[in-house]
Amino acid sequence: MIMMSSVEYALVHAGRRLEILRGVELAVAAGEIVALTGPSGSGKSSLLALIAGVEHPTAGSIRVGGMELVGRSQDELARLRRSRMGIVFQDFHLIPTLTALENVALPLELSGTPEAMDRARLMLDQVGLRDRADHRPLEMSGGEQQRVAIARAFVARPALILADEPTGNLDLETGGRIMELLFRLARSWHAAMVLVTHNPELADRADRHYRLDGGTLQKMAPRDNPS
C-alpha cells in the first residue's frame, strides 16, 4: 500500500536548512496497521504529509497503491488523496458551516459519487451518531466531532487511513473509545492505517511499531508482556 524508499525531507527556514527526515524506508502492506511514535518535532506529521502528497520529499521515492507520488501535479495528488486516502487529524478539521451529515458526505460529493447523502447517513450510523446528523461541529462534543471526522475519513472506503494523534484533544476515556472505533473500522474494512500516537499501549496493538527520532525511522520490537 505504501512504499517509501531513501526518503529525505529538508526545509529551509529563515535561511537555515532543517533536515527533518533522513533515509526513511517504510513499507506498509494492504490492510496493515502501523503505529508511529517519537518525540515532539521528530517529523511524524511531516511523514504523514509526505504520504498524503501534501508535502514533497527532497529525495527518494514514495509509492501509494502502486503510484509514484514524486513528480505528480497537485491535481493528480489531490485526486489520489480523494480516491485512496482518509485522513484524521488531532483537531478534527471539520467544516464549521456544514452539519455532521454534510461533512461526512463531502468526500463523496467531491468525487461525484451517487447517493452521497444516503451513504453518509449509513456511515454516521456506524459511528453511533445517527441522532446528531443535523448538528454543526460547534454543536457537538469533541468526541462526537472526532467520530464525524472518522466517518468522513472512511465513507469513501479508502484503502489507506492516515491518523495524526486522533485522540490528542480528547479525555482519556473518550480517546479510548475513539481508538477502539478506528481500529474496528480499519480492521473490518481491511484498510491500511498509519497511526501517530503517544500511547505505547496503542502502538503495541498495531501490527508494527516504528519510532522516529533524529530524523530516522526505527522499528520497535513488540514490548514484553509482564507474565
Ligand X SMILES: Nc1ncnc2c1ncn2[C@@H]1O[C@H](COP(=O)(O)OP(=O)(O)OP(=O)(O)O)[C@@H](O)[C@H]1O
Smallest gap from Cβ 186 to ligand X, in A, equals 21
In single-letter form, the type of residue at position 32 comes to E
Smallest gap from Cβ 32 to ligand X, in A, equals 21
Does 46 engage in binding with Mg ion (CB under 5 A)? no
Q: How far apart are CA 101 and CA 209, in angstroms?
A: 34
Which of 4, 7, 35, 42 touches ligand X (CB under 6 A)?
Answer: 42
Look at residue 122 and give the partner it binds from ligand X, Mg ion, none, a contact being a CB closer than 5 to 8 Å depending on partner kind.
none
Judged by beta carbon, residue 45 or residue 126, the one nearer ligand X is 45
Smallest gap from Cβ 93 to ligand X, in A, equals 15
Does 45 engage in binding with Mg ion (CB under 5 A)? yes
Does 167 engage in binding with Mg ion (CB under 5 A)? no
Q: Which long-range contacts (CB under 8 A, 24 or more apart) does 211-215 make?
A: 211/36, 211/37, 211/38, 212/21, 212/36, 212/37, 212/38, 212/42, 212/43, 212/44, 212/47, 213/38, 213/39, 213/42, 214/42, 215/19, 215/20, 215/21, 215/22, 215/42, 215/43
Does 40 engage in binding with ligand X (CB under 6 A)? yes
Does 159 engage in binding with ligand X (CB under 6 A)? no
Look at residue 67 and give the partner it binds from Mg ion, ligand X, none, a contact being a CB closer than 5 to 8 Å depending on partner kind.
none
Judged by beta carbon, residue 37 or residue 45, the one nearer Mg ion is 45
Does 43 engage in binding with ligand X (CB under 6 A)? yes
Does 132 engage in binding with ligand X (CB under 6 A)? no
Give the largest CA-CA distance in the chain. 53
Report the Cα 23 to chain-centroid distance in Å: 22
Residue in this structure with the C-alpha cell 463531502, named with its chain if needed? 106
Scored b (16 or more CB within 10 A) or e, 192-227 reads: bbbbbbebeebbeebebbbbbeebebeeeeeeeeee
Which of 1, 22, 45, 181 touches ligand X (CB under 6 A)?
Answer: 45
Candidates 10-18, 38-46, 67-75, 186-194: pick the segment binding Mg ion (CB under 5 A): 38-46
Determine the size of the site formed for ligand X (CB under 6 A): 12
**Which positions from 6 through 25 interact with ligand X, judged by CB under 6 A?**
11, 13, 18, 20
Query: Interface residues with ligand X (CB under 6 A)?
Result: 11, 13, 18, 20, 38, 40-46
Query: Interface residues with Mg ion (CB under 5 A)?
Result: 45
